């Protein structure tokens, strides 16, 4: 993988950004409003991302990926988030939450059998953690593995699962005796069924749904790591997820600022462009500062992710601040647009609806605060200090 610090992008990262930006301009920007309006998931564009090497960006070439690493994955999320945050969300659920997790923790059999199909886009992937009765308290899940008649059987249900209505492969976290295990389930498995496809206020076009597992027979070779490794896999996955998904909201915020600055430079009231009014200037300045602070915090977390995936404090901090700031920035953009920001024609109100999910998904803002405070307290108890 190419590891790049926030202090200086390499030529490779500039090339990736240029490539993704052109892809987004050509393929996504013309349909971004349709994606939201019609709750439309562009399967063809998603699979095209596989052909271009975007889906398997963290996966080595020998398993069908492009091997560019987390920095490239973050860039893709940023650029997709600028145009269609919902497509960025589905991309993240596939590329990071599912595929990267499977590659990092899977056996050679799993890597050879499933990773290339996910990297190419032949399979659409999904991660299954949340349940109807367990959201923030994820480890209180009811989905479980039981041993019976010499076999392993998975039973339970999952809720609010990104890509569920379309996915071919699911990484399912479950109870396993006194611990937890993470297993691969295929849509073709006997006992698997899809429930409702859920209609959301925002992130429309990122398909979300319910899933049920009715005594699915699980081959032991489909378990990631070994039985009982699930908690470690869940926690490391959450840290990676929080860092990478924070870039969706950085891209969203950048779009809101672009739109607001352009509009304020053109719109006239009382004979003046509204960007000449100090109250508008105040809004724009705070929008920019919060955007840049989010970006720097996210890149700090991205650096740490590359050498310490189990440390939660920077990951939780990055997505907490990026999502809060994106919501603030999108709301201020609507205010600058006035009535034109409130109607659907301009696409500005969509940014706010999409931004709201940032404080709910990947652990709520309240859970992130808890994670940060506990990690900080532990750090000081161990005699360490913040830098």
> Is 126-229 the same fold as 11-124?
no
- The fourth-level CATH superfamily of domain 231-381 is Butyryl-CoA Dehydrogenase, subunit A, domain 3 (1.20.140.10)
Left (φ > 0), alpha (ψ -120 to 50) or beta: where does 194 sit? Answer: beta
Which residues are CB-neighbours of 39 under 8 A, at least 6 positions away? 199, 204, 205
pLDDT at 28 over 80: yes
pLDDT at 173 over 80: yes
Note the pLDDT of residue 11: 63
Averaged pLDDT of the chain: 96
Note the pLDDT of residue 14: 86
The third-level CATH classification (topology) of the domain covering 11-124 is Butyryl-Coa Dehydrogenase, subunit A; domain 1 (1.10.540)
Cα–Cα distance, 351 to 45 (Å, whole number): 21
pLDDT range class, residue 387, cuts 50, 70, 90: confident
pLDDT at 6 over 60: no
pTM of the predicted protein model: 0.96
Note the pLDDT of residue 7: 42
pLDDT tens for 210-236 read: 999 999 999 999 999 999 999 999 999
pLDDT tens for 59-104 read: 999 999 999 999 999 999 999 999 999 999 999 999 999 999 999 9
Q: What is the mean pLDDT of residues 21-30?
A: 98
Residue 126 pairs with which residues in a beta bridge? 170
Note the pLDDT of residue 289: 98
pLDDT tens for 106-116 read: 999 999 999 99
pLDDT tens for 316-342 read: 999 999 999 999 999 999 999 999 999
Q: Radius of gyration (Cα) for the chain, nearest Å?
A: 21
Note the pLDDT of residue 13: 82
Asked if the 126-229 domain carries CATH number 2.40.110.10, the reply is yes
Instruction: Considering the candidates 210, 241, 324, 349, report the single residue annotated as catalytic.
Output: 241
- Active site includes 241? yes
Q: What is the mean pLDDT of residues 340-358?
A: 97
CA atoms within 13 A of residue 185's CA, in its CB half-sphere: 35
Note the pLDDT of residue 8: 45
* pLDDT cut 90: percent of the chain above it: 95
User: Is the C-alpha dihedral spanning 130, 136, 139, 140 positive or negative?
Assistant: negative
The two structure tokens encoding residue 371: 């994670």
Note the pLDDT of residue 4: 38
pLDDT tens for 243-297 read: 999 999 999 999 999 999 999 999 999 999 999 999 999 999 999 999 999 999 9
> H or E segment at 291?
helix 278-305
- Domain boundaries in the chain? 11-124, 126-229, 231-381
């Amino acid at each position: 993988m190419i590891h790049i610090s926030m202090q200086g992008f390499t030529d490779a990262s500039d090339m990736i950004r240029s490539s993704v930006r052109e892809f987004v301009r050509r393929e996504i920007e013309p349909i971004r409003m349709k994606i939201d309006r019609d709750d439309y998931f562009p399967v063809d564009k998603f699979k095209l991302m596989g052909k271009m090497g975007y889906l398997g960006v963290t996966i080595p070439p020998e398993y069908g990926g492009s091997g560019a690493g987390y920095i490239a994955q973050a860039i893709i999320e940023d650029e997709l988030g600028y145009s269609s945050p919902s497509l960025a969300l589905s991309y993240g659920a596939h590329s990071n939450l599912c595929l990267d997790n499977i590659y990092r923790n899977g056996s050679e059999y799993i890597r050879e059998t499933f990773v290339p199909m996910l990297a190419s886009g032949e399979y659409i992937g999904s991660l299954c953690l949340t349940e109807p009765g367990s959201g923030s308290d994820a480890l209180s899940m009811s989905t479980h593995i039981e041993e019976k008649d010499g076999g392993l059987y998975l039973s339970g249900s999952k809720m609010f699962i990104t890509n569920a209505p379309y996915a071919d492969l699911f990484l399912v976290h479950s109870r396993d005796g006194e611990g937890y295990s993470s297993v691969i389930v295929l849509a073709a498995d006997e006992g698997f069924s899809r429930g409702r496809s859920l209609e959301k206020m925002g992130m429309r076009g990122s398909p979300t749904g319910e899933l049920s597992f009715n005594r699915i027979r699980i081959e032991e070779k489909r378990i990631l790591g070994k039985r009982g490794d699930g908690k470690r896999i869940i926690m490391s996955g959450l840290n990676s997820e929080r860092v990478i998904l924070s870039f969706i909201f950085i891209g969203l915020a950048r779009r809101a600022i672009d739109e607001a600055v352009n509009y304020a430079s053109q719109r006239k009231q009382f004979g003046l462009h509204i960007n000449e009014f100090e109250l508008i200037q105040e809004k724009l300045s705070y929008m920019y500062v919060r955007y840049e602070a989010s970006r720097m915090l996210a890149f700090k977390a991205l650096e740490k992710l590359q050498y310490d995936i189990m440390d939660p404090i920077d990951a939780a901090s990055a997505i907490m601040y990026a999502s809060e700031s994106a919501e603030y920035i999108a709301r201020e953009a609507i205010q600058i647009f006035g009535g034109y920001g409130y109607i659907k024609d301009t696409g500005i109100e969509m940014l706010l609806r999409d931004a709201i999910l940032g404080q709910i998904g990947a652990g709520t803002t309240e859970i992130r605060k808890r994670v940060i405070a506990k990690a900080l307290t532990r750090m000081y108890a161990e005699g360490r200090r913040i830098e």
